[in-house]
Chains A and B, each alone.
Chain A
Amino acid sequence: MYFKERAHAKLHDAQLQASLARFQGKFVPARKTAITELDDFEGTRDAAAEIRQRALDDLDVWLTIFDENARARGATVLYAQTPAEINALVLEIAQRHGVRKIIKSKSMVSEESGLDHAIEAAGMTVVETDLGEYILQINNYEPPSHIIGPALHKSREEVSALFEARHGTPRKDAIDELCLEARGVLRTHYLTADMGISGGNFFVAETGSVVLVTNEGNATLTTTLPKVHVAISGIEKVVPTLEDVATLMRLLPRSATGQSISNYVDILTGVKDRGEFHGVEHMYFIVVDSGRSAVLGSDVRQALRCIRCGACMNHCPVYQNVGGHAYGWVYPGPIGIVLTPMYVGLDNALDLPYASTMCNQCGVVCPVKIPLPDLQRKLREKEFERDLRSWHERVGLKAWGWLARRPALYGVATRVGVRMLRTLGDRNGMIRRLPFGSGWTDERDMPAPAGRTFREQYKARKAASHPDALAVSVQGKPSASEAREGSRKETLG
């Protein structure tokens, strides 16, 4: 089942639609306020994009520097080429240290490999500690729907029922009571776990550290109390210096939830001092390739700058309407529709690059300036080149291409076209049913064209030689997206 079918089902899921409506009101305005605290927000974005691109441009070198410094501090640095290798390494580390219970703070990469299932299949216990991830885990490993708030699609009533069933406690309805109950359950696990697994927001080359960012403090507890810590993240997560971390941390929480700073930022390096009471005795890094080097060598390599803030999905009109599950894999939203086809294969995610209106909201908010619509378009082109699109689309595009290269003929065809379309309009100038286009008009009306093409109007106005004749009739100062929209209309005419 592809995106289109799933999206269709999600649009008709009343419960989900209620959650999505609730979701929209918060992250977007919070970000908007938070970025005004930086007097040079755009300059900071430029700096952040540069930092991430610098790391990618010499990734081999930065990885090696990170590796050397981490080892010098007593950590073991391991590499995983595939998802299966991540799981194999984790299981072997656990066996080596006689681990029975593992606590885990959020790691997207481990979702790629289905690590929790592998741990359970090996007979160990694993407990997710991020509250959202925990809720999903006890709901038979329901997939996350958002990279920052994995369970934001769930209502309080669903969580109430789930806790009652799983914890065997009286039903609680208030959100703070539910959180308190989860705190109690998870606290016991923190104190009895043998090993902690975390993701890694950044690997710092100069110090050989991993940086973890949370609000709950669950990553801090996960990496402080057990004796073994395994940090799993992608090769692309290296940044050169702590100064770079400082710059990125001015953007990550602001872009994600609209906070000036996340409540807990942990910079973890090596193993504990001899005198320390708590603290890990064995520190492992698992640095994961699993498709990333292929992205690095492709023309969508800028996607690897991503710092997983979630802003692109928060602002995406498609995501806002269908939620994260419609995308079918670990990463939803505008970044997901670029990464998923690259990681699971374009053939397995054919319509994902089309899950975008190309409005560029994502590109505008991305803190590391990933040109997401450009990358989506590149994937669309790849599909076309590799003959992965349906025959009528290929024939249709070929025909249009042929026509568009013959301006005179194109002019005639569009003149006929708009006049025909005009006759389909009702009294209000709206087309209610479009032959061969019911997919569009089933859900909405289409405005009928004015009856004359852009080029006809342009010519007529030029002839009238009005001083404003050449201006496209946009009132006031057009925003960037309006201007783009305007230019798109021109090319259609």
Chain B
Amino acid sequence: MAIDDNQRSREAVLARVREALGRHGPDDEPRAAAHAYLAARKQGPRPTLPADLVQRFLQRAADMSSTTTRVEGIEQAPAAIARYLDHPHARAVCWPEIAALDWRGAGFDVDVRPASGDDAIGITGCFCAIAETGTLVFASGTDSPPATFLLPETHIAIVRADQIVAGMEEAFARQRAERDALPRAVNLVSGPSRTGDIEQTIVLGAHGPRRVHIVLVAAR
């Protein structure tokens, strides 16, 4: 079978690549150079960002068609979300980390489970958020299921001010600092799902959320 036999294709492809590069003999030297490059973590030129990363994040998120609101403390998030939804008896699903908030008190019901295709509203936290581009960064895991920010028409993300980093580079550095290896999925999401495939006319909600609402919790 082709899969079990694939070692032969692997060797043939690598041999052709070596041939094309004019590489004969051992590759210890380029390998050492490659590992040195990996260790150096070289970055490209970075755009200068304003000192106030929170402000920049909110502005960029809005540019990407997310809506935003600010609250002073996390306990105010349910009421802020209720105001945004403006719908009595709304039902939502959420990540476990925010399950303990007083959703009932804000007037709606929240199930703590990954979203299915039938859920209209998904509420999540995030791993971190990127000021440069107004991007939410998610790291998949048991308590951070991606379905909740992918399947519902409305996605609401709660972001703490101390989760905002400058660029993708800092988001990756945080991943490295907090865990040994990348999770199965790191999803970088900037605003609602969109398409321009018919006459280049932008339509929101192509497959995923039509609305992304960000609740920013001020740092203490």
Residue-wise interface mask of A (275-300) relative to B, using a CB-CB cutoff of 8 A (1 in contact, 0 not):
11111100000010100011011000
- Chain A nearest CB, measured from B202 CB (Å): 9
Known: A65-B34, A78-B3. A264 touches B187 (CB 8 A): yes
What are 20 A-B contacts defined by CB distance under 8 Å? A37-B47, A57-B21, A58-B30, A59-B21, A88-B2, A152-B197, A152-B199, A155-B199, A186-B207, A216-B194, A217-B189, A217-B206, A241-B41, A243-B172, A261-B134, A264-B187, A266-B185, A269-B182, A269-B183, A277-B142
Quick check: B145 and A278 within 8 Å, CB to CB? yes
Apart from the given pairs A48-B44, A266-B188, A276-B184, 17 other A-B contacts in the complex at a CB distance below 8 Å? A38-B45, A40-B47, A44-B45, A51-B44, A60-B23, A65-B31, A79-B13, A81-B9, A88-B2, A93-B3, A149-B197, A154-B198, A175-B201, A175-B203, A223-B185, A243-B42, A247-B45
The CA of A183 and the CA of B204, in the complex, are separated in Å by 11
Main SS of the interface on chain B?
loop
Shortest 3 CB-CB contacts between residues of A and residues of B:
A297-B20, A275-B142, A247-B44
The CA of A463 and the CA of B3, in the complex, are separated in Å by 77
Quick check: A131 and B198 within 8 Å, CB to CB? yes
The chain A residues found within 8 Å of chain B, CB to CB, are 19, 22-23, 26-27, 37-40, 43-44, 47-48, 51, 54, 57-65, 67, 73, 76-81, 85, 88-89, 92-93, 96, 129-132, 135, 149-152, 154-156, 159, 175-176, 178-180, 183, 186-187, 190-191, 205-207, 209, 215-218, 220-221, 223-225, 235, 240-247, 249-250, 257, 260-273, 275-280, 287, 289, 293-294, 296-297, 301
- Chain B nearest CB, measured from A322 CB (Å): 19
Quick check: B48 and A39 within 8 Å, CB to CB? yes
Residues of A within 8 A of B107 (CB): none
Known: A89-B3, A156-B199, A240-B37. A221 touches B150 (CB 8 A): yes
- In this complex, the member of A54, A180, A242, A244 whose beta carbon has the largest number of chain B beta carbons within 10 angstroms is A242
The CA of A269 and the CA of B163, in the complex, are separated in Å by 23
Residues of B within 8 A of A132 (CB): 195, 197
Residues of A within 8 A of B199 (CB): 19, 22, 152, 155-156, 175
- Chain A nearest CB, measured from B114 CB (Å): 4
Residues of B within 8 A of A272 (CB): 140, 184
Give the contacts of B170-196 with A (CB-CB under 8 A). Answer: 172, 181-196
The CA of A186 and the CA of B151, in the complex, are separated in Å by 12
The CA of A245 and the CA of B169, in the complex, are separated in Å by 9
The CA of A207 and the CA of B182, in the complex, are separated in Å by 7
- In this complex, the member of A44, A92, A191, A217 whose beta carbon has the largest number of chain B beta carbons within 10 angstroms is A217
Residue-wise interface mask of B (1-12) relative to A, using a CB-CB cutoff of 8 A (1 in contact, 0 not):
111001001101
Quick check: A266 and B186 within 8 Å, CB to CB? yes
The CA of A63 and the CA of B12, in the complex, are separated in Å by 13
Give the contacts of B126-147 with A (CB-CB under 8 A). Answer: 133-135, 140-142, 145-147
Quick check: B3 and A96 within 8 Å, CB to CB? yes
Question: CB-nearest residue of chain A relative to B31?
Answer: A61
The CA of A227 and the CA of B196, in the complex, are separated in Å by 29
Residues of A within 8 A of B141 (CB): 273, 275-276
Question: CB-nearest residue of chain B relative to A243?
Answer: B43
Quick check: B2 and A85 within 8 Å, CB to CB? yes
Known: A78-B9, A246-B168. A131 touches B195 (CB 8 A): yes
Residues of B within 8 A of A150 (CB): 197
